[in-house]
Amino acid sequence: MDVILKKTFPNNTQLIEFGMSVPYPIHNNTLATCTLEYNVIGNTWAELTKTDDKNGMCHLFNTNGGDLWFDIQKQASMTPGACPIPKGNYHGDGILINLSKSKIPPIPPGNYRTTIEVRNKSNNSVILCKMFDIEGKA
């Protein structure tokens, strides 16, 4: 998944572009650990937050993303709040997101990366581990 933050507005709204490839259906039988890091300088990264939801990935997205996640789903032609999320490629450009609708704070300018590790809920085996960059622009 790639997210490009194009512009931040004073009312907690940001303009983004994103591309997301989902190689496996996302449902509550899969668990995820998500880590957000900020690029301090060079190859030095500082962990900002980490989420480990034992209730499943749909629960993680729907609970932490809330209306923001539902807005992104709508604009990517997905059914808001739907579970499972079918495998496929999703893209959105020129998407206005209101971060006050989620638990996610506004992203200040800078370079970030997120690591998502997806595991099978029944045996905790790793299904997928993906790192993606978030470029924050003013």
Bridge partners of 3? 18, 134
Predicted confidence at residue 105, as pLDDT, reads 62
Predicted confidence at residue 27, as pLDDT, reads 82
Kind of pairing between the strands at 2-8 and 126-136: parallel
Higher pLDDT, 136 or 22: 22
Residue 113 is encoded by which pair of tokens? 């990366």
Q: In what order do the strands lie in the sheet with 13-22?
A: 44-53, 30-41, 110-120, 126-136, 2-8, 13-22, 88-98
* Average pLDDT value over all residues in the chain: 79
> Nearest to residue 35, comparing CAs of 136, 137, 135, 130?
130
What is the chain's percent helix, strand, coil content, to nearest 5? 15, 55, 30
Higher pLDDT, 46 or 91: 46
Residue 20 has pLDDT above 80, yes or no: no
> Nearest to residue 49, comparing CAs of 98, 99, 104?
104
> Nearest to residue 111, comparing CAs of 61, 48, 54, 69?
48
Residue 97 has pLDDT above 80, yes or no: no
Give the tens place of pLDDT for each residue, 108-126. Answer: 778 888 888 888 888 988 8
Give the tens place of pLDDT for each residue, 27-53. Answer: 888 888 888 899 998 889 999 888 887
Residue 1 has pLDDT above 60, yes or no: no
